Structure formats: C-alpha cells, structure tokens
Structure 1
C-alpha cells in the first residue's frame, strides 16, 4: 500500500498516542471523523497497522534487566530452523527474536528480573533449545534509545 501524506499524519499521531480518540485523530490529520475512521480501517486491512497495545515500563514491572543473546546453530536446515523458532516462541521471557545475517544465526532480546533470573531462563529454556552450537549473552548497561516508533517519510 502506498502511503500518502494523510496516512503518514494519521500513523505519526497514533504512534505518539495510540489512545487518541477518532475525533482528535481526525482533527490532527485534517479529516472528518468518518473519513478518518475509513482510512484507519484501510490501513488495518492492508496490514500497515498490525495491532494496538500498551507499552509497559519493564523496570516498573520488575523486568529491568535486558539481555541480548546471540545464537549460532549447528546447521541451517529448514527443519532445524523451524524447531528452534518454535522453541523460542514458547519462552515467555523472549520479547524479540531475529534471524540474522552475519556471525550469529539469531539474536534474542530477553527481559529478566536480574542476573539470577537470567540464569534461570538460561537453565530452563535457552540451554534446551534444539540445534544450538554457540550462545553469547550480553547484558545492557543502560538504554539510550528505546522505541517502537517506525520512522515515516
């Protein structure tokens, strides 16, 4: 779907405040309320808007330790990739998993309570993932930029 200037205004406004009323959103995008609602439905149906949610402060809910784990698999067969990804999907502490190009096959972002909690996650989950040849964990010391905002136009 090709986004026009109005779509971009709508999406920017929603990324700033996803709880904005349709009337407020329409005003920001210079649309009538019905036109705004119609545009949003089109963006949703096209998959541009993939969902709505709340961003939580991980530290405030006791998950302030961020660990990035690089994983290299023993092989790259489709079956092993599928098994590995299914295993990762069952780990509730993994908030992101990316298939990578480069030295590691996967990069996981894990939210833990502290280093002891990460040790539990490692013992109970990560060490049991299929096909893992190498694993390298890095603890984030401080978050400099954190956002789920997609740059537009």
Structure 2
C-alpha cells in the first residue's frame, strides 16, 4: 500500500525526479521545510519504496548506442516457470532498457538500446532463436527518440 503523501512530499518528489543532485537545503526552501525534515522525509520515502533509486540519465548516442528497437515477443507457453526463465534472461540483458509482460497480441514488449543492427541480430539469436519458448517476435526500429523517460507524474506539486 502506498504511503499517504502530503504537499511537501509532492514538492520533494517532483524536485528530485527533475534533478536528484539538488541540495537538501534547496529542497527545504522549495518545500518550506528544514534540511533535517527534508532528510527525514526522503529517508522515509525511500524506506517506503516510493523512491526506488537515485540515478543519472546518460546520453546513449554519446556512448555509442544510437539505435532504439522495440520488440514484441509471442511465447509458445505461458507456464509460470517458462515465463520466469524468460523474464530472468530479459532482466539480465543490459541492452534491454524496459521489459513489459502484456496482455493482447503479444506477451512481452521489450525496448532495446543497441550500438547497431549487428549487435541487435546477435541478441536476437541468443534471446529469441535459441529460446524454445519464443513462438515469434516482431521488430520495430525507432527512427527518432521523440520522448523518453521514466518520470512519474506528481500530483499536487508546484511543478505541475
């Protein structure tokens, strides 16, 4: 169950989601709280699982990852052990940025970030062709990264 959040929490969450490196003193000014209160609230939010981790957003192209690929995967069997095995394989692959188990025409939707098509083809061999539970997969090549992110909308904050 999600903890009850007040307006101070909303302001803090919106601010650190925008920039996790903002000083706690500045957070206190924005939320009208003392630095100690900010520290305590952030610790409670992390302990409650609201804040999962602090991270930096990197530019994929600057690191040689210029190709984003979306893949729809259909499985042969939805037996729990086979699905868990696939999920472990997808989770262990650093080129898979996101993985969703979905309802509808396919069973999984994966977002890959790869250097080039050769790298992607190599991954498909390992993840799909060599996996007896993959019935079919469909590849969509992103022509442009129009919007990416994992920001969660914060209701009740001053930012939006």
- TM tier, smaller: over 0.9
Q: Does the 8 A contact of 1:80 with 1:130 survive in 2? A: no
TM-score scaled by structure 1? 0.95
**1:9 matches 2:11:** yes
Q: How does 1:39-118 map to 2 (within 5 A)?
A: 39-118=41-120
Instruction: Work out the CA distance in 1 between the residues paired with 2:74 and 2:127.
Output: 16
**Highest RCO, 1 vs 2 (Cα 8 Å, sep ≥ 6):** 2
Instruction: Work out the CA distance in 2 between the residues paired with 1:151 and 1:128.
Output: 39
Structure 1: gaps spanning 5 or more residues: none
Q: CA deviation at 1:127?
A: 2.2
Instruction: Work out the CA distance in 2 between the residues paired with 1:132 and 1:125.
Output: 9
TM-score scaled by structure 2? 0.91
Structure 2: gaps spanning 5 or more residues: 156-160
Q: Deviations along 1:100-140, whole A, 9 cap, x unmatched?
A: 01111001111111112211222233322341001001000
Q: How many positions carry a matched residue from both structures? A: 153
CA RMSD of aligned residues (A): 1.2
User: Which portions of structure 1, spanning 4 or more consecutive aligned residues, are displaced by more than 2 angstroms?
Assistant: 123-130
